[in-house]
Amino acid sequence: MYQFRVIMLGDSTVGKSSLLRCYTEGVFLDAVNQTVGVDFYVQFVELEPRLRVKLQFWDTAGQERFRSVTRSYYRNSAGGMLLFDLTNRASFESVRQWHREVTDTVQPFSIIFLLVGHKSDLAGQRRVGRKEAEKLAASLGIQYIETSAKDASNVVQAFQMLTVAIYQALLTGRLAPTEAWAGVKRTASLGPQHPALV
């Protein structure tokens, strides 16, 4: 069994906590309190027969005043979910800054990102087009998906995409577990080893 640590990134109110609650608990809370510092969530997934992954999520506060706290969590993350609000242009324009801040902090380690346009249910209030978001994702060398915690659209798919991308990065050697880095852990006692990774 593997443990992947994933950090949720993006401006305040883009819906990081709502997306996580929808995925891990199957609930949508219209009024979620703003995250203070970092919250933790866990979800187990089976990528393929006999290959289980424990996903450990760090839900970070988007406000600037918590940035020094959340920055310390970047280095030990294997994945990063970069969220913006499809109805909030400024949150989209912040994506590059979030991406740069994390990549600058985690060097020489790698982190696998997924760009997520959230609140796709609010189509009438949309301020960012799909093609524009796809272009940004391509320029960062990452995948893009649109989600909604309110109607659960693409929520499971988004986390599956990121989990698979992390696993593929392990297989190709782009991510390499070390004693000094806790982004990926192998816990042989919790399940059979995957033959491709022994």
- Alpha helix positions (H), 107-191: 130-140, 155-172
Q: Indicate if the pLDDT at residue 65 is higher than 70.
A: no
CB 65 within 8 A of CB 77: no
pTM over 0.85: yes
What DSSP line would sit under 67-81, residue for residue?
HHHHHHHHTT-SEEE
The predicted pLDDT at position 176 comes to 85
The predicted-structure confidence for 114-173, as pLDDT tens digits, reads as follows 999 999 999 999 999 999 999 999 999 999 999 999 999 999 999 999 999 999 999 999
The predicted pLDDT at position 198 comes to 30
Q: Which CATH class is domain 2-185?
A: alpha beta
Q: What distance in Å separates the CA atoms of residue 133 and residue 143, rounded to the nearest whole number?
A: 10
The predicted pLDDT at position 170 comes to 94
| Boundaries of every domain in the chain | 2-185
Q: Indicate if the pLDDT at residue 35 is higher than 70.
A: no
Q: What distance in Å separates the CA atoms of residue 142 and residue 152, rounded to the nearest whole number?
A: 22
Which token pair is 90?
A: 């400024």
